Structure 1
């Protein structure tokens, strides 16, 4: 995966209708359908053959065969309900790709310094469709930081500070989030599209995003964008964020947290720019 792919990943969606694929023969057609089937699971955790067939415009028998083939290879797994979800083999391959990202290599020492400075959990997130994928997470020692155990995890685009700060500087991701709609996770989750647009506008002005208990009660976060220049545009390709208890992150030391996170993101952005020279 190249650095340019990080920008493109914000616009990943289900592969378009398969009219060109239907005219192909043999292995190429099978590979195209397999990729399209996997793409369906970007927006839904579990799917059955009927839904996949409808999404891709193929026969249900074709969808059944492809789902079964992907499950036999570990890319998907079948649930007790007879539907399918992403399998561990796909997760393992994804981890290998993540581990090889230049972005992660450049950001890791910066995350370590940020974690040590603030004693809060520091994270690196990249856009995946209308969500973010946390590709690195260093747990802090502050109270209330140990609230999850998974290193790699997708976060919803509308309720996390990392996603908001990327979407504010990445129109493709913002469009995907608005098209998918909003799910209320706590009483503080933004669910009004107009309000969300206003927040993104403010984030662009401020240079950082905050999420106050929008995803988990008692936990809040602050994020700043990792950006690259694309011609005359500056596009966010990732985000650095700090997450912890609301009182510690958004309390008396909020200004210090914001400054530290912005400085960390700027450091990684500069390193990325140098790597492109």
Structure 2
């Protein structure tokens, strides 16, 4: 049995199938982790989600910002942008099934036996792993409840930018969501900078990549994440594995076999 963690798919089904063929993935024996952004921007959002849904007993996926965006559009809280490729998915007869499955997906998945944790964007340096898990569960509970509409209608926004334990309501949920699904650069105390999408060495003044802070409270934990194609699969920090290698932009799709940390890639262009 092997466990393969794969970066952002964004509706790129054919590269996923080729990569799984390359590693001889067996859904009866192996496990597949997807680090968020299953859909959008790529050519086959509906087919990709259907494929993963069929494999769902072997798949663990965390939610990315594009997955949450899809939910917001589907529930009428956000208009589609001109860059979205969600139309076929939104019109599909089985869209409701796909939505129900996504709503059950976590923001953070941790496997103590394997020694790996998966998130889409990252974990802020001022949270312990226990705190990160607890905060992820807060948002997950809302996504699975009748408070979903209220959350989605208030999900978008860049404020608050820094964590405080006394945060409540939608401000608290929005910041937790931004940490897990949108974060790239932040300060040591978790203040977010959400505008820049540049590489790690082009950080805004006063900010650094979330994983680069030497006093990060999760430094001893192995973390796999996606979201940041500009890193090109390179995160210069111990125990951090960047898996978004820009498939949807013509780059490659990357899989990390967690048992021996061996990397596999296939070109997407």
Structure 2 length-normalised TM? 0.28
Compare CA radii of gyration and give the structure with the larger one: 1
Task: Write 1 or 2 for the structure with the bigger share of helix.
Answer: 1
Comparing both chains, which one has the higher relative contact order based on Cα–Cα distances under 8 Å and sequence gaps of 6 or more? Answer: 2
